[in-house]
């Protein structure tokens, strides 16, 4: 019966969509994790740069005074 075929196709489609949604979700989680790690590295680099700037500033002050 056509109705049974449509119902079966709908179920198959639903299963596929659930699977795709799961994969998509996993990818998004991975990307967010990567982004968090990159942001942490950027924060560390910023802190190091700030330290370098302070050191250079102190050296200039010592030289000029």
CA dist., res. 22 & res. 15, Å (int): 11
**Residue 13, pLDDT score:** 94
**40 pLDDT higher than 80:** yes
Query: Which residue reads 């795709």 in tokens?
Result: 20
Say what the pLDDT of residue 54 is. Answer: 96
- 6-34 pLDDT, tens per residue? 899 999 999 999 999 999 999 999 999 99
What was the pLDDT predicted at 65?
75
Q: What is the pLDDT of residue 2?
A: 86
CA contacts within 13 A on the Cβ side of 10: 6
C-alpha 44/C-alpha 12 separation (Å) is 48
pLDDT at residue 19, as a whole number: 94
């Amino acid at each position: 019966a056509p109705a049974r075929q449509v119902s079966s196709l709908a179920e198959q489609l639903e299963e596929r969509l659930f699977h795709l949604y799961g994969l998509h979700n996993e990818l998004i989680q991975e990307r967010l994790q990567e982004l968090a790690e990159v942001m942490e590295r950027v924060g560390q680099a910023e802190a190091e740069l700030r330290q370098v700037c302070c050191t250079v500033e102190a050296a200039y002050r010592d030289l000029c005074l």
